[in-house]
Amino acid sequence: MDGRHFHISRSFALRLALVGIALAFLLVVAISARTLRTARVDLTGDKIYTLTPGTTRIVDSLERPLTLTLYFSEHASRDLAQLRSYEQRVHEMLREVAVRGHGRIRLRVIDPVPYSDDEDAAESYGLMPVNGGSNGERVFFGLVGTAGTGDAATTQAIPFFDPAREAFVEYDIAKLLYELSTPHKPRLGVISTLPIAGNMVIGEQPWTIMRQLEQLADVSMIDANGLTRIDDRFKVLLLIHPKRLSADAQYAIDQFVLRGGRLVVFVDPDAEMDTAPLVDVRGVIDDHNSDIRRLFEAWGVVYDPTQIVLDRSQSLTIELNGNSLSHPAMLGLNAQGLNHDDVVTASLQRLNFSTAGHFELAPTTHAQMMPLVQTSDDATIVPVDRVREATSDPSVLLSDYTPTHERYVLAARVRDTFRTAFPDRTDTGHLAQSQGPGEVVLIADTDLLTDRLWVEIQPLLGQQQMTAFANNGDFIANLVDNLSGSSALLSIRGRSSLQRPFTKVRSLQAAADRKFLVKKRELEGELYETQRRLSELQPAKGGTSNGTAVTVEQRREVEQYLQRKLAIGKELRDVQHQLNAEIDALGLRLKFINIVLVPGLVALFGLIYGWRRQRRGRRVGL
């Protein structure tokens, strides 16, 4: 150097700083790509991409590697925007599961194009394509899970991700993982005073519901006589129509629940399949009802076995003596009476009950009751004897019918940290309270299990052809399937839908509808009256009316009504056009705000901010 100071210009320093920032940014990206590969940040309002603790527990407990293969017809679904959007959510959730697996879960995505080996493989795994894809192609959207290799491999599948079950997509995936990790059928115990298992000695077949359960679980009938303890190997216990259970049997059920066992109780004010004589030879009266009052009181449940629920708006039509009659004690509960926030009833459409009771919570209990099945608010309750007396003519139940405007609970989950119903017992291993929150499922009807209320069986080529006309069988299968899972699986509830409705737009459209609705109804009423009057005058157009010549006044009246009819039609069209114009204007305003106004305001703010900085810089330079 010649003694002069080395000076770096401001612009050169600024460029050098920018280069340094860019290099630092690239370095941070490279490091984070290697060290933060599994890091995720879910900024959605309902955390729809964050796995629940139940799912993470199932994934963390996996002992052997799994392969998840998502089959999605990418090309065939290019015109199905909603399905593609749903596939993105499923794909993202599967990626989260795979990341959580820390190498134990391998995720593959395959597009099974038509006539390919991938399509054949998808069908061999039981995936169910739907029609409606591009060029009439079938669309696959299912998941296949495989654990192990070779002959020891275990495979489970979700045949199709139905968008209607979007709220339960995490549950369905977690259930598949759980079943892959525990490939053996769960053990199911059944205690019943009804002939649900049939009697092969006399050629009586098991009920269809029983044969269905045997496909899902390892079913064992348990004799309540002499019962003192229920084996812990039973995951689920079905208690069907418990009548005169001994104290020891009730204690065994009590302790089973406190140990964490899953119990489903079916009681009934009038079990129609109960064949015991109403009055036996000793004069003992049997009302064909069932109850476990001591256990119900311990669980905080109120149930009256002498009351039957009627619901005239949900009544089934029966054939009696050649006549079709509405039977308000036989109920056909549609989707409005089913809890679509619960995985057990979410996909069901219809359940049939007969002479059912109902449940309530005791005022002093801390338990929670989550209804699964409810009546409409047009229901009421009557004594059992009144329903029995109406056997030959159910229509008499509608006389003096007074609805209570309450929705009665026919089936429900009850959750609590249960206490024993036998605090004075001192048996070995006695539990006074459950270690954590427990759950029992209560159903106030046993007749829903009978074939006649949900399935029709016909012989066909030496085989029995079964046609289900209600979802009673699916309801029981879903219950057993749900309760036989782990506690982690039970903790997974429905999630929010990815589809976000424009609530503000809908409210504005509703306001526009109301604005024109009054005028529309007035015009429709006037049109109806005009058409009625025309129908009275119309025969006169032929020249005679009842043999009398048509007067000039009648012809003039007909012409006036015809002109008014045309005018009303035009006014109705104008009202509809105004309504459509309001909605279209609303859409244009929203588009203007989103596309022009907001970006323009942001750009203006940026320009003002830049101008002010530039001006401030000039002042500093001066």
Residue 277 has pLDDT above 80, yes or no: no
Return the structure tokens found at 425: 């017992």
Backbone phi and psi for residue 315, each to the nearest 5 degrees, phi listed first: -75, 150
Could you identify the residue written with the tokens 């977690």?
A: 174
| Residue 287: how many other CB atoms lie within 10 Å | 17
Say what the pLDDT of residue 534 is. Answer: 62
Residue 360 has pLDDT above 60, yes or no: yes
Q: For residue 517, what pLDDT band results from cuts at 50, 70 and 90? A: low
| Residue 77: how many other CB atoms lie within 10 Å | 22
Backbone phi and psi for residue 70, each to the nearest 5 degrees, phi listed first: -95, 115
Residue 311 has pLDDT above 80, yes or no: yes
- For the chain, what is the largest distance between any 2 Cα atoms, rounded to a whole number of angstroms? 132
Name the average pLDDT for the chain.
Answer: 83
Say what the pLDDT of residue 33 is. Answer: 64
Spatial CA neighbour of 445 closest among 245, 264, 263, 237: 264
Q: Taking the CA atoms of 339, 340, 345 and 348 in sequence, report the sign of the dihedral they define.
A: positive
Q: For residue 136, what pLDDT band results from cuts at 50, 70 and 90? A: confident
Q: Which fold has domain 53-167?
A: Glutaredoxin (3.40.30)
Same fold yes or no, 53-167 and 187-274+286-390+407-484: no
The burial class, CB within 10 Å (0-12 / 13-18 / 19+), for 436 is exposed
| Residue 247: how many other CB atoms lie within 10 Å | 12
Return the structure tokens found at 437: 């929150």
- CA gap 196, 178 in Å, rounded: 30
| Residue 84: how many other CB atoms lie within 10 Å | 14
Q: For residue 521, what pLDDT band results from cuts at 50, 70 and 90? A: low
Q: For residue 387, what pLDDT band results from cuts at 50, 70 and 90? A: very high
Q: Are 310 and 328 in contact (CB under 8 A)?
A: yes
CATH architecture of 187-274+286-390+407-484: 3-Layer(aba) Sandwich (3.40)
User: What residues does each domain of the chain span?
Assistant: 53-167, 187-274+286-390+407-484, 503-542+550-621
Give strand ranges (E) for 252-367: 262-266, 301-303, 307-311, 315-320, 323-333, 351-354, 359-361
Q: How far is CA 16 from CA 19, 23, 570, in A?
A: 5, 11, 74
